[in-house]
Amino acid sequence: MGLTYQSTGKLANREAFDVPVSANEPVIALAGNPNTGKSTVFNALTGLRQHTGNWPGKTVLQTKGIFIHEGQQYTLVDLPGTYSLLANSVDEQVARDFICFAKPDATIVVVDATCLERNLNLALQVMEITEQVVLCVNLIDEARRRKLNIDTGALTRALGIPVVATAARSKEGLPQLLESTAKVVWKKIKPRPNLVQYIPEVEAAVSLLEPKVKALLGNDINPRWISLRLLDGDITLIKALEKFYGQQKVKSVREVFA
């Protein structure tokens, strides 16, 4: 039964997001809290001029651009800034759906070096969906100005993913960011994200639900993450799953929520 879902082509959903479907044309997503410099990174890499500015929420469209690195063309997508991916707002759904269903070859999470704690919250959530993550600790110049010292080595160890410090406005660190990202895309580095451990009750429920998710949906989308969202009662994700994995089972879901 569940095979109907699994048989969907791995990257087929990308079409719905209007990004290249072929495995030879990698897609990279930029996620992050609002105002952390995503659009600045995007502009610096693609040479485009996406609207930047110092107020949260100015990037309202999901914008894509291309850049070439060592002869290879990449598509870069600038997602709207969100504090989380728990889908309480349209922005959060847009960002989540892209990471979850378009399955970018790498996701760069841009975080504000001066406010790491809040920003890591989102990074940890992205890591639950995909392993292909690079952390871009941006605004490092601001952090320096405030005499904050960021130990990227410690971050790499704690998170299990590549970490690069950048100051996107002055293009500092961007070559390193590109290099790490390309390595992740081509699997030359395989990030091993250290996932958040939840309280025992939650972990127990997850371990019961996860095999069932796997049986129905396969491994295409991280089953642990889907289990968590289902336990969480995230209706928007269920709707998105219906949308991207065919309409056959819509009725039974409606019945549950009736």
Partner 1 sequence: MSLPSSLGQLVEEAQRLSGPLQNTIRDSIVNSIYTTAESIAAGAVTTGDPERTDWDRKIDNILTSPVWGFPIMLGLLVLVFWVTITGANIPSAMLAEGLFWIEARLTDFFMAVNAPAWLHGFLVLGVYRSLAWVVSVMLPPMAIFFPMFTLLEDSGYLPRVAFNLDRFFKKAGAHGKQALTMSMGFGCNAAGIIACRVIDSPRERLIATLTNVFVPCNGRFPTLIALAMIFVGGSVALSLAGAVATLAVAGLVVLGIAITLFVSWLLSKTLLKGTPSSFTLELPPYRRPQIAQVILRSMLDRTIFVLTRAMIIAAPAGGIIWILANTHIGDTSILAALAGWLDPFAQHMGLDGFILTAFILGLPANEIVLPILIMSYVSGGAMMELDSLAALRQLLVDQHGWTWLTALCTMIFILCHWPCGTTLFTIQKEQHRWRWTLLAVAIPTAMGIILCITVNYLAQGLGLI
Partner 2 sequence: MYGSTTLNSAPVGSFVLVKEVNAEGLTRRRLLDLGLVPGTRVEVIRRSPVGDPIAFNIRGAVIALRQEESSKVTVIDS
Ligand X SMILES: Nc1nc2c(ncn2[C@@H]2O[C@H](COP(=O)(O)OP(=O)(O)O)[C@@H](O)[C@H]2O)c(=O)[nH]1
Q: Given the rule CB under 8 A, which residues bind partner 2?
A: 83-84, 86, 88-89, 114-118, 121
Pick the closest to residue 128 from 154, 161, 164 (CA basis).
161
Helix (H, G, I), strand (E, B) or coil at 44: helix
How many angstroms separate the CA atoms of 34 and 119, rounded? 10
- Contact set for ligand X, span 98-127 (CB under 6 A): none
Near ligand X by CB under 6 A, which window of 17-25, 53-61, 116-124, 189-197?
Answer: 53-61
86 binds partner 1 (CB under 8 A): yes
Return the residue of 13, 17, 28, 32 that touches ligand X, per CB under 6 A. 32
Does residue 47 bind partner 1 (CB under 8 A)?
no
Q: Write the binding mask 19 to 58 for Mg ion: x where contact by CB under 5 A, - elsewhere.
A: -------------------xx-------------------
Q: Taking the complex as a whole, how short is the minimal distance between the CB of residue 46 and Mg ion, in angstroms?
A: 13
Q: Residue 115: CB partners within 8 Å, gap ≥ 6?
A: 33
Q: In what order do the strands lie in the sheet with 133-138?
A: 63-69, 72-78, 27-32, 106-112, 133-138, 163-165
Contact between 113 and 139 under an 8 Å Cβ cutoff? The reply is: yes
Among 123, 168, 177, 240, binds ligand X (CB under 6 A): 168
Terminal CA-to-CA distance of the chain, rounded, Å? 24
Q: Which does 22 bind (CB under 5 to 8 A by kind): Mg ion, partner 1, ligand X, none?
A: none
Paired tokens of 235:
């209706």
Q: How far is the CB of 22 from partner 1 (least distance, A)?
A: 29
Where along the sequence are the contacts to ligand X (CB under 6 A)?
A: 32, 34-40, 52-54, 59, 81, 138-139, 141-142, 167-169
